[in-house]
Amino acid sequence: MDQRPVRDRTGRGVRALARRLLGRVEGGSPTPRRSNPDAVVDCAVYVNGRREPGQPHYADAYARARHGRDTFVWLGLHDPGPAVLAAVGQTFGLDELTVEQALADGHRPTVQRQGPVTLLVLRTAGYVEHDELTDTSEVIDTGDVMVLLGDRFAITVRHGAAGALRSVRADIERRPTLLAAGPWAVAYAVCARMVDSYLEVAGHVERDLERVEEAVFARDRTTDIQHIYQLKREVVEFKRAVLPLQAPMRTLLEPDGPPRALHRWFVDVDGRLSRAVDRVAAYDDLLTSIVQSRLAQLAVEQNNDMRKIAAWAAIAATQTGIAGIYGMNFNHMPELAWRYGYAGALTLMAAAALFLYRLFRRSGWL
Per-residue pLDDT reduced to its tens digit, 207-265: 888 888 787 777 776 667 777 888 888 888 899 889 999 998 988 888 777 888 899 99
**Helices in 117-182 by DSSP H: which ranges?**
166-173, 176-179
Q: What is the pLDDT of residue 26?
A: 37
- Label residue 190 by pLDDT band (50, 70, 90): very high
In 3D space, the residue among 267, 256, 255, 259 whose CA is nearest the CA of residue 70 turns out to be: 259
- Spatial distance between the Cα atoms of 301 and 286, rounded to a whole number of angstroms: 22
Q: What is the pLDDT of residue 332?
A: 62
- Spatial distance between the Cα atoms of 33 and 61, rounded to a whole number of angstroms: 13
Q: Cβ distance 149 to 161 under 8 Å?
A: no
- Spatial distance between the Cα atoms of 357 and 366, rounded to a whole number of angstroms: 8
Q: What is the pLDDT of residue 329?
A: 67
pLDDT 10s digits, 325-335: 766 666 666 66
- Spatial distance between the Cα atoms of 187 and 172, rounded to a whole number of angstroms: 11
- Spatial distance between the Cα atoms of 153 and 46, rounded to a whole number of angstroms: 10
Ranges 189-203, 276-290, 325-339: which has the least confidence: 325-339
- Spatial distance between the Cα atoms of 277 and 247, rounded to a whole number of angstroms: 12
Strands (E), 115-250: 117-127, 140-149, 153-159
Q: CA 140 → CA 66, 125, 197, 272, distances in Å?
A: 41, 7, 11, 20
**Average confidence (pLDDT) over 129-147:** 82
Ranges 18-22, 113-117, 345-349: which has the least confidence: 18-22
pLDDT 10s digits, 161-184: 766 788 999 999 999 999 999 999
Output the average pLDDT for the chain: 81
